[in-house]
Amino acid sequence: MTDDNTPADRLHTPVLLERVVELLAPALQAPGAVLVDATLGMGGHSEAILERFPDLVLVGLDRDPEALAIAGERLSRFGDRVHLVHTVYDGIADAVHRLGFDQIDGALFDLGVSSLQLDRVDRGFSYSKDAPLDMRMDSTSELTAEIVLATYSEADLRRIFRDYGEERLAQRYAHRIVEARQEHPFVRSAQLVDVITQATPVAVQRQGHPAKRVFQALRIEVNQELAVLERAIPRAIDALTVGGRIVVESYQSLEDRIVKRILQAKSTSSAPAGLPVELPEHRPELKLLIRGAELADDDEKAANPRATSVRLRAAERVRRGS
């Protein structure tokens, strides 16, 4: 837990910072190169990259106004090299074009809930601390976890717990929640944790906190994370110049599957089987820079516990799309 008075530059240790810089570096060498940090957070990755590439221009995107304010202060010393935009990251193309850039040289995605959001108890992201059932990454949006729990049908709750939480007890949890809300609306995270815990067999509880997957599912639903990611990665690739690079850090399998599928499709020839000559329009748009997903080593995990579940993927654009 971080104190609200902790200096911004001590609030967040970027995951795999050196590896991210290494992967992006070949695309960021030219004067005036443009990097989009699509998940700016508190600006840890961006600060380090701006320091190492003194001619780099940064476009930082984030849906969280609080994160933008902290990052803005942290990156203020870089002056007009930094452009911050309040938007969800599937708005990457619009943000870049509004700023007058035709193409970008790099795109970085550090997915999932940020350290800032986890550490601010009142945001309601953590099942380990009692808080209002909010879970919005963007405090200006309307949908909250409280609204989801109050208004979604049992079938819809079961669906999101199953699809977004990969929860085997999705049906049981959805049924118990609908029963419980008839007596008392869910307004605090502790209420939800209690209902889930009571509905969970003791043997299952020994395998980990029973609320973990439900909280993940609610957070994804409230913020539409997977639908946004499905749109954002192709838009980032389309914005890349030839030679530009995209780097993505994922922290759970649902995100990583989407990233993997898109990058693999874009790095595979579209030529029909048996075609004697591959026509230019069938050549891959991307070249993968990492075989599979790269994981953090033991030293990184020890230094930064958030790196334990990271999956890193990266690609370089080698051809413009048709």
Determine if residue 179 is left, alpha or beta; phi over 0 gives left, psi from -120 to 50 gives alpha, anything else beta.
Answer: alpha
Per DSSP (E only), the strands in 13-81 are 34-37, 57-62
CB 49 within 8 A of CB 58: yes
Query: What's the pLDDT at 12?
Result: 63
Residue-level pLDDT, tens digit, the chain, 322 residues = 333 444 444 456 799 999 999 999 999 999 999 999 999 999 999 999 999 999 999 999 999 999 999 999 999 999 999 999 999 999 999 999 999 999 999 999 999 877 666 667 677 788 888 999 999 999 889 999 999 999 999 999 999 999 999 999 999 999 999 999 999 999 999 999 999 999 999 988 888 899 999 999 999 999 999 999 999 999 999 999 999 999 999 999 999 999 999 999 999 976 666 666 666 666 899 999 999 999 999 999 998 888 999 999 999 999 987 6
The reply to whether 122-220 shares the fold of 8-110+225-317 is no
The sheet carrying 57-62 orders its strands as 82-86, 57-62, 34-37, 104-110, 240-250, 311-317, 286-288
Q: Is 156 annotated as a binding residue?
A: no
Residue 243 marked in a binding site: no
Q: Which helix (H) or strand (E) holds 240?
A: strand 240-250
Eight-state DSSP code of residue 272: P
Q: Given this model, what pLDDT does residue 99 score?
A: 97
- Half-sphere exposure for 161 (CA within 13 Å, toward CB): 25
- Indicate the class that CATH gives domain 122-220: mainly alpha
**What is d(CA 177, CA 167) in angstroms, rounded to the nearest whole number?**
15
Q: Where exactly are the structural domains of the chain?
A: 8-110+225-317, 122-220
Tally helices (H) and strands (E) across the chain.
Answer: 14, 7
Determine if residue 55 is labeled as part of a ligand binding site.
Answer: no
User: By the 8 A CB rule, do 292 and 243 touch?
Assistant: no
How confident is the model at residue 10, as a pLDDT? 47
Residue 44 annotated as binding?
yes
Helix extents (H) in 108-188: 115-119, 145-151, 154-165, 170-181
Bridge partners (DSSP) of residue 58 are 35, 82
Tell me which fold the domain 8-110+225-317 belongs to: Rossmann fold (3.40.50)
Residue 89 known to bind ligand: yes
Q: Is 205 annotated as a binding residue?
A: no
Query: Using alpha carbons only, how large is the chain's radius of gyration in Å?
Result: 21
- Looking at residue 1, its pLDDT comes to 30
pTM of the predicted structure, to 2 decimals: 0.90
282 annotated as belonging to a binding site for a ligand: no
